[in-house]
Each structure stands twice: as C-alpha cells, then as structure tokens.
Structure 1
C-alpha cells in the first residue's frame, strides 16, 4: 500500500459496493422463488468444492436492512445488486411472483432513504431452471423471455433505480458455464458455445429497448475484461494472444459498438439473423468494467481443441484465488478500451474489482486484512491514473460488500469488506471497511459533497 495520500477523484465520482443475488440472498424456497440453474448445479454432488449451496448464503433476503445500514456507515453512494430472475418470474415466463418484486422494492426504497443510488443488474447467472430445461441460452427464445422480465422489473422500479445493468459478465457465463462446465449449467461445449454468446447479447439489446420504454434511467452492461500477456515471443504465442484477446475482450464488446463479432476464432455464426446486430448495438449510457487480473497465454500444444493455452503469470503477489495482483493491468485495460473504441466508448464504471483472502477474526474478534487494503489502494490509484490518461471513469464498485458464497468455490473464498460468520450470519466489518470509509469521507471533503 502506498504511504502517499490517495489522489482526489472528480466531482460526481461514485464509490460503491457490489453483490449478486444467489451469492448473498439465501431464502431459496421462500415467498414463491423458483429454482435456478445454480440451485440445480450446487445440489449436484461434486460440483462445489465444499459441498455447500446458496440456499442460505448470507441470508440477505431477511437481513437486507442490516446490510443497508453497513453501506450507509461505509459512506458509499451506490450499491450494485442483482435481481434474481427466478424470484420475480419463477419459471422464467408466465406468472409473476409479486412477493419477489416486493422484496426488491423494499431494498431499493431502503437504499434511497440512506442516499445510496440503487444499481440493478438484471442477470447475474441465475437463469430459471425451466428455461434451462428448454435449452437455456442456447435457445433464442431465452433472449425474448429476458426482455419480458426486464420490462416487468422496470415497470415496478423504473422510477427509482439509478442505473440498469442488463447482463453481468456474459463471457464468464458462456466460458465457464457452457464452454468448460465449471459453472452452472455445467455444459462443456468449448467453441460450440457461441450461440450462448449471441443469445445473451441479443437479450441485452432487447432488454435495452424494454428499459428505454419504461424508464429514463441510464442503461449499461457489465463485462469481464483481462489484459492478455504472452508467455513467449514467438509468432505462435502472439497468435494465441490475439485469439484469446478476441474471445475474452472483444467478443462481448465489439458488437455493442456496431463492429460485429471478431472473425479470428472462426465461430459458426449461423444463429445470427438479419437485424440482430443492430439490436445488440443499441446505444448504452455506461460500460461496466469488471477487472480482477491479467491473463497469461501461450501457443497451445499440437492437437489442442483451442487456439491458446492459459498459463500462470509470474512476478506478482497472489490472492487466495491464486490470481495475480496487477493494478497496472487495470490502467492498461482502460487505456485499451479508450484507444480501441474511441468516441463510441461511453463513460466507464468499474462495476467489480476486489480480491479474496483468508480473513478470519483474531482473538479479540477483529478482522485485519491489510492485503485487501493494499489491493484497493493500488487499484484506485490505477483508476485515477487512467482518468489522467483521458479515460472517462465515473465510479468504482468494490467486490464485495460481504463475504459470500463464491460459486464453484462455495464458502472457501472471502471477498468481503465485511466478514460473515456463515453459521450465524454475524457481520463484522474488516479493517479494509474502515480504510475505505476514510477514503470515501476524504473524497467527499475534497469535492465539497
């Protein structure tokens, strides 16, 4: 962590925290919520490292007021949460569950009462299981069901949500959920998963239109990005970098700005119909950037089904996830977006950035996490440097407010500013929470807000 004072941020810059529904809400069978693909996946033996599920998670569904109070004390001006599609429309289509919408209305109103902007993500991977039974995102109809769901949520909350995010990390959902099978729904299609990419983006475009019809609030998408670094300097290594760059960073961004899909990967694009790319390229107001680490790539071995091989990057500190801590990658990434998309690039918000460490209370019940403080310090400085480089970055959301259920890793990875004792649900703010509270307070004093 730098000992220098944190540089100031522009007036209006938003400091926020992020979560997702399945990772914190719990209440899996409460008040009419239907099953999602993550319920099915987590209850399948051998899928989750510790055999756990999100059935209870952090019990945010019942403790949301306590969590809002934690945010208010922290001083954040925005909270990014996700709406659980199966809580609102249990089968993915058909009847609406009023109790589900009521919960999100209570949450949004509670945030506004504390001066916190609600930022709602409509899809954070928890597809209703009945839609998966009909083919999920491999089925074009799912894009239309998503737009209907977006319309329902916007009809209820469109006058109060301050930023709408259609999809969270469609690349990760495609690659881990449908490419390798490490995430729900557990399909292992490799490059045959391209229809999942296209139908997610089509759903995004259709949802943008639905949201525009219901609300004047700004609309975004949150993509996961990773600077790609070659593990060698031969032509085959550089070709592998180009292929992975196209897959991870361009596939879900080029179409947003009217550039179509990258051709380097040779995807079968027969699922793309006339007019689809125009729908996908509907203007957005913000690009959400989720950043955790760069990716090392080299040429694959002969006979590999993929045109690249992922390799560890040496020379960096590591998180508990064994991810390299590379704040320089965030500045590099923001510069790449600015250079590649130019005037087409809308304002950017860092919608996720954070780190997992093995944080546990000491004998006095306090949770010290100096590595997380160092991480956040360095990444906020990287954002400030990118702003100085000319990138219009208007917010930074820490992943995450709470320790939570971390997908296939279950309860084994802790990302939170607040420690959660999972058996009891007890919340204990960590030292990083106190550090960030002071950073936010100082930023407010600097800008007179």
Structure 2
C-alpha cells in the first residue's frame, strides 16, 4: 500500500473538516449519479392524556402493515457488566482506559436495561411499537467468545424475547453490535480469521436457543464503523490506527456475516436474516471530472465495499486496485470466501445518518447544518437517495431501516417534560423522504428510530442523547420526550 493511499484512508475515516465556505447548491441525486457519485424506573408522561391534540393535517400514509419500531444495542443500554457470568468485551476495556471516552464514561451501568427490561417493554407497548431491534451481547452468552454458553445470559434474552412477543412486539435481534469478547481480541480480534469461525459457532448457539422466538435476525452491525473508527482513527474499540489491518478486518467481518447466514439456514428455522449496513450517499463537491472520479472511489470505500460482496459476490475492483495486490485484504481472501459472504439473504437493514461531499483531491466538505455530533450533516434527501440507489443498483431486496436519528442536548424541564423539537423536525423530514422512496418503488418494510432510550454513545459518553425517551441517569427514571409522543401518533396514523 502506497504512502498516498495510507493518507487517503486515514483522511477518509477522519472527522469532516470545518466548513470551507463553498458556494452553490448541492448537486441533486440525478446530477450526482451522472457525475459518478452514489445517488441512491417508572415511566413519566406515558399516558394518552399527555399527547398534544393533533392539528388537522394531510398525512403521508405508509403502506398497510408497514412496521414501526425503535432500536438499541446491548452495550449501550444493558449495564450489568459484571453480572450473571458476562465476560469482558473490547468496549469494557476501551471505555475503562483513561482518555478514551468523554468524561471517562463507561457502559457499566448505562440505562440499566438488564434489570429494568420489563418496564422498558411496557413502555414500548404503550408507544405502540410493532418491532424492537436490539442486540445480543456476545460476552454475555460466551464469556470468552468460545465454548459452552452461559445459560444465565441466554435466559436473560429468552425472558426478554418472550416478553416482547407477549406484548405483540416483534423481536429483531442483532448478533454483533461491536462488543467483541476481550479474550478473542487478545487472540487477534477481527484481524484473526478464526474470529469469524468463532462468531459462526456463537451464532449457531443463539439460533438454536432463540430461533423459534425471533422472526428477523441481523448478523453484523455496521462493519464499516468497526473498520473506520476501530482501526483507522482509533476512536472506537479496539482503538487501533492501522490502515492495512482495517480492510482485512472488513473481510473477516463479512465472512462472519456469511457464516452466520449459513448457520441460520442449517437450523431450519423459518425466520429471516440479513446484515445491517450504514450507508452514506456520496456526492461530488463540484462539477469537475476529478471530483467525480474521487467521489466514485470514495463511494467504493463507504458503500460498495460492504454491499457488493454480500449482494453481488465480489469486491469492487476500483477499491481493490486502490489498496493494491499486496494489501492484507487482497491476500486474505481465500477460495470460497465470497461464495460464503454472498449466501442469499432475506433482507437488508439500512442505517442512514449523513451524506458526504467529496472534493477533487479526495477530501470532504460540509454542505448542511450539523447536529451536536460534528460528523452528522442533516440532509433528509440523502435518505431518499441512498434508499433508491440500493434498489436501483442491487434489485428489489426487501429493506428495513434499523437506525436513523438525531443526537441533541436534551434538558429535563421543571415541569417534568423534555421538548426535543429539533428531533421531531428531523424525524418528520426523514420519514417524508422514506415515504417518497416507497412511492418511487423502494420495497421498504419498516423503520426503526435510533434510539428508543438515551444511552452510552460510545466515545461521546452520555453527553449526546439520541433517545426518544429521556433517561435520568441518577435515578434511571424514563421520561417520554416530545418526540416519543409525536412518534406514537405517527404509528397510530401510519403516516407523517
């Protein structure tokens, strides 16, 4: 790998630079495509009496049986980090290392969902959720990532899944949401091909314990974030900065996905399975051929590197050429790997937060206002573009949105309310974009807001709140925000 390529990879994963003052209106989806871009606790205030009376309005109706849900992940909400046989994860190690997270925050307690899950499930029922996307903690099921499962861990998830089904909420389980057992990291982590094999064993254990209770499974959550944040910038666990290792990690994560799909098919369970991939529509920052070419390659690293192997059975040739024949990714592809990775899936989970504008030199520009997370530009049309792009380029695979949301600095007012008006505006605009995509022919089946609860937001600790439900961390009291009341009405109306 050349020095220039190393610099580009690090730049690609780095936080977006400060606004450049570029002029002009951002290119629309069609223009971007033509230029070579991607184109497309008690619960407080939970009763109906607290919902504001809806004003007369035209509602954008979603298809009948459209699924409305919310999402979380194990390390971000469960807590109970040392209870009932749970082992250490890479995020336990990372967050307890001084200087790694804001304020030294950890997920040791988080939202205490491990102890408060019954009331959280009641809250979901009261909101009217159809679906709940959560993740299973690998180290809670296998403390060291291998061997005999921890029955207490499996029993926790069995109770929770049964509780969801009893409340009429469909469970959607993610097998891996970044909390790799530390023992496997000590043995090389995702740089070690064996980790993918251990993941398949773990997945098989979970399928056989819970497969008759869960209709939809997601294999690996956002492999790109593990690659970029965990191995390029080092902002996430395991905190490395090694570009050559990063893309071998990408391959092993996708191999793990494929092996898990095969393991699921072998059980004979009737449910569905697919990956969860965060996608960023990439647009050229200007009309130059150089910007178009740079955008095409940027899109390769951001999107096609993860979509193509799973849905087409091949890695994008431009990315492989850019990495070079001696890269660890290229050398790490064994015969038969791509056949495993491309084992047929039943659906694709899409996660959208931000667009990317690419300059002629391969850098990035900001074009839209950002949230309190500096990396997130607020651009609802990008949601439409990425959904339609997936359908156009990869065919009519069923889609579910499993993350889309806005972090804000929410404040609990003296009257016990949380007025997160910005989140309501964000969700309304993005759901309107999703509705446009469905009208354009995208087979979008469901939408899960990120997130149900305020939680541990990785390296940002507890300062950024993504939840539609406020968590008062000192007391663990749950308080519905304005956005939660609004979302409940959306579900009732089946539209925005």
TM-score category of the 2 structures, normalised to the smaller one: over 0.9
- Equivalent of residue 317 in structure 2, options 249, 263, 284: 263
The correspondence for 2:459, drawn from 408, 416, 437, is: 408
Aligned to 2:371: 319
Q: Distance in 1 between matches of 2:272 and 2:288?
A: 44
Q: Secondary structure at the match of 1:436?
A: helix
Matched, 1:80 2:139: no
The answer to whether the 8 A contact 2:215-2:270 is kept is: no
2:156 match: 103
Match of 1:244 in 2: 298
Residues 6 and 381 in structure 1, CA contact (< 8 A), matched pair in contact too: no
Contact in 1 for aligned 2:313/2:341 (Cα 8 Å): no
Q: In structure 1, what is the Cα distance between the partners aligned to 2:184 and 2:225?
A: 19
CA contact under 8 A between 2:66 and 2:494: conserved in structure 1?
Answer: no
Give the Cα–Cα distance (whole angstroms) in 2 for the partners of residues 3 and 33 of structure 1.
Answer: 51
- Give unpaired runs (5+ residues) of structure 2: 1-54
Aligned pair in 2 of structure 1 residues 3, 196: CA closer, same or farther (>3 Å)?
farther
Gaps of 5+ in 1: 301-307
Q: Is 2:254 aligned against 1:201? A: yes
Using the alignment, how far apart are the partners of 1:15 and 1:442 within structure 2? 11
Match of 2:418 in 1: 367
Q: Tell me if the contact between 1:180 and 1:190 (Cα under 8 Å) persists in the aligned partners.
A: no
Tell me which residue corresponds to 1:292.
353
Structure 1 residue 319, shift from structure 2 partner: 1.6
Match of 2:276 among 195, 211, 222: 222
Shift of 1:284: 0.5
Q: CA deviation at 1:282?
A: 0.6
Deviates more, 1:413-422 or 1:234-243: 234-243
RMSD of aligned alpha carbons: 1.5
* TM-score (normalizing by structure 2): 0.85
Aligned to 1:180: 233
Offset at residue 380 of structure 1 (A): 0.9
The total of aligned residue pairs comes to: 433
Aligned partners of 2:101 and 2:364: how far apart in 1? 23
Asked whether the 8 Å contact 2:191–2:245 carries over to 1, the reply is no
Distance across 1 between alignment mates of 2:272 and 2:84: 30
Partner of 2:91: 38
Deviations 1:97-120 (CA, angstroms, capped at 9, x unpaired): 110000000110000010000000
2:31 is aligned to: none
CA contact (8 A) 2:80 2:114 kept: yes
Using the alignment, how far apart are the partners of 1:3 and 1:220 within structure 2? 39
CA distance in 2, matches of 1:355, 1:437: 17
Tell me how far apart the structure 1 counterparts of residues 223 and 182 of structure 2 sit (CA, whole Å). 18
Q: Distance between the aligned counterparts of 1:394 and 1:129, measured in 2?
A: 36
- The equivalences for 1:132-211 within 5 A come to 132-211=185-264
Question: Per-residue CA shift, 1:65-90, capped at 9, x if unaligned?
Answer: 11101100000100000000000001
**Alpha-carbon contact 1:6-1:439 (below 8 Å) kept:** no
Instruction: Give distance in 2, aligned partners of 1:178 and 1:317.
Output: 28
Residue 230 of structure 1 deviates from its aligned partner by 2.1
Partners of 1:6 and 1:156 in 2: how far apart?
Answer: 42
* Rounded Cα–Cα distance in structure 2 between residues aligned with 1:50 and 1:295: 29
Partner in structure 1 of residue 26 of structure 2: none
The answer as to whether partners of 1:258 and 1:277 remain within 8 angstroms in 2 is no
Q: Which of 451, 454, 473 is equivalent to 1:422?
A: 473
Residues 50 and 412, structure 1, Cα contact 8 Å, conserved in 2: no
Q: Which runs of 4+ in 1 moved over 4 A?
A: none
Deviation, structure 1 residue 4: 4.5
SS at 1:250's partner residue? helix
Give the match's secondary structure for 2:103.
Answer: coil
SS of aligned partner of 1:264: helix
Cα deviation for residue 318 of structure 1 reads: 2.7
Q: Which residue of 1 aligns with 2:337?
A: 276
Q: What does residue 14 of structure 1 align with? A: 67
Residues 174-232 of structure 1, C-alpha deviation per residue, up to 9 Å, x if partnerless?
11111221100011112441110111111111000111122210001100001112223
Q: Does 1:94 align with 2:147?
A: yes
8 Å CA contact 2:391–2:397 kept in 1: the answer is no
Match of 1:305 in 2: none
Q: Residue 490 of structure 2: which of 423, 434, 439 is its match?
A: 439
Of structures 1 and 2, the one scoring higher in RCO (CA 8 A, sep 6+) is: 2
Residues 104 and 461, structure 2, Cα contact 8 Å, conserved in 1: yes
Deviation at 1:3, TM superposition (A): 8.5
Decide whether the 8 Å contact of 1:77 with 1:117 is kept in 2. Answer: yes
Partner SS, residue 219 of structure 2: strand
Query: Contact 1:327 / 1:378 at 8 angstroms: preserved in 2?
Result: yes
For residues 340 and 3 of structure 1, the distance between their equivalents in structure 2, rounded to whole angstroms, comes to: 39
Q: Measure how far apart 1:150 and its partner are.
A: 0.4
